[in-house]
Structure formats: structure tokens, C-alpha cells
Amino acid sequence: MADLFHDKAAEWDQRPIPAQISEGVFRALREAVDFSGGLRVMDFGAGTGLVCSKIAPLVDRVLAVDISEAMLAQLAAKPELQGKVEIRCQDILHAPLGETVDLVVSAMAMHHVEDTDALLRTLHDHLAPGGRVALADLDAEDGSFHPPETQGVFHAGFDRDDLRARLAAAGFVDVEFTTACEVHRDARGYPIFLALARKG
């Protein structure tokens, strides 16, 4: 499988939009999730660790999961994450981790997964009883957020009501949505939601 982020990884953290999204998502997470009590967390689509670097000091353990070796190499090089984050470069839809976590967080990864229902079932399977997901991505948009030549983008955002139904079908309960932030590109605003749900 080609690493679609191979040529972007080295300068990813300097891009203003990923930095803005990670800040907004983390603020929303802090408001919605109790990080006390030694949580085990999976960061699905962890990339260079923009989100998990903020979460790691608050929890017991973070599993940084991604299929881009180049992005994870940037995460692994961050000295503040040494000994705090375990890196797993694998497609958990086809190769599950074989362990469970208390919380799955994800920022801007869902639109890179073609089968949303399979992804939600997989995340459900990776949660311990009562575990939660906190999934951030684009609200449904017209496809203009990503440049036309961008590879590996399967969804132009997500409709909240549709995603709510898909989360319920995958076995989640107590589904809630909040707006984590809004990013601006080419004089347009794109809201980023945070979907919270608990394993039923």
C-alpha cells in the first residue's frame, strides 16, 4: 500500500490548518472527556502526533495507530513522546490490535477510510466495556476542502444525522456532537465536528 503522506510528513506540523484543527479538537476533548483515572487511549490516524502529544501527559498509555510510516516516523522522533506513546503502523480494519482501550480519539482520519461502517465496528471492537469514541472530522461539504488531485479521500465530510445513525448501528449509545472548530481555506469556513459516543 502506497504511503500517501510520504512527501508531506516532514513539514506536516508546520502547516497551519492541521495545527489549528489539533488545537480545536483537543480543546473540545478536554471539555467532553474526563482524562483522569489512567486511561488507555488509541489515537486512530495519529499521523505526526499533533493530537496525541497533547493527550499523552494526561493519560496512562497512548497507542498511536496509522498506516503512514512516514507520518509515524515524525511522531517517533518527538522527544516529549518517548516512553509515552506506543506506535502501531497497521490497518486495524484488517489486522486488529488484539487489545482494548478505554478511549479512541481520531482527528481528520475518517474521511480517509472508504468503509465508514466497517471502521466504526472496528473501533467498537477495540473498546473495553463502557469505553468511548471521540471522532473529529469535517461536516459534510461540497468536496472543495481537499484539492482535486488529493488521493485517499473517500468522503467530502459527514452528515451528522447520518453518522449518528451509523454509530448506533455499530453498537454505540449516548451519541453527541459538538463543533470543535472551524477552519478557513480560500475565504470559506469548514466546521469540524467532534462526535462522542459510548460502547453499548
3 part of a folded domain: no
Report the domain count for the chain: 1
pLDDT given for residue 81 in this prediction: 86
Order across the sheet with 127-138: list the strands. Answer: 85-89, 61-66, 40-44, 101-107, 127-138, 188-199, 172-185
> What is the pTM assigned to this prediction?
0.92
72 part of a folded domain: yes
Contact predicate 76/52, CB 8 Å = no
pLDDT given for residue 11 in this prediction: 72
pLDDT given for residue 178 in this prediction: 97
1 part of a folded domain: no
- Residue 167 vs residues 29, 120, 124, 158: alpha-carbon distances, Å: 18, 7, 9, 12
Instruction: Give pLDDT tens digits for 110-132.
Output: 999 999 999 999 999 999 999 99
4 part of a folded domain: no
Instruction: Give pLDDT tens digits for 13-68.
Output: 667 787 889 999 999 999 999 998 789 999 999 999 999 999 999 999 999 999 99
Q: How confident is the model at residue 10 (pLDDT cuts 50, 70, 90)?
A: low
- CATH number assigned to the domain comprising residue 119: 3.40.50.150
152 part of a folded domain: yes
90 part of a folded domain: yes
| Mean per-residue pLDDT of the chain | 91
pLDDT given for residue 185 in this prediction: 83
Phi/psi of residue 92, each to 5°? -70, -10
104 part of a folded domain: yes
The C-alpha atoms of residue 167 and residue 197 are separated, in whole angstroms, by 8
Q: How confident is the model at residue 6 (pLDDT cuts 50, 70, 90)?
A: low
Q: What is the span of the domain harbouring residue 81?
A: 9-199
What stretches of 106-173 show up as alpha helix (H) in DSSP? 116-125, 160-169
2 part of a folded domain: no
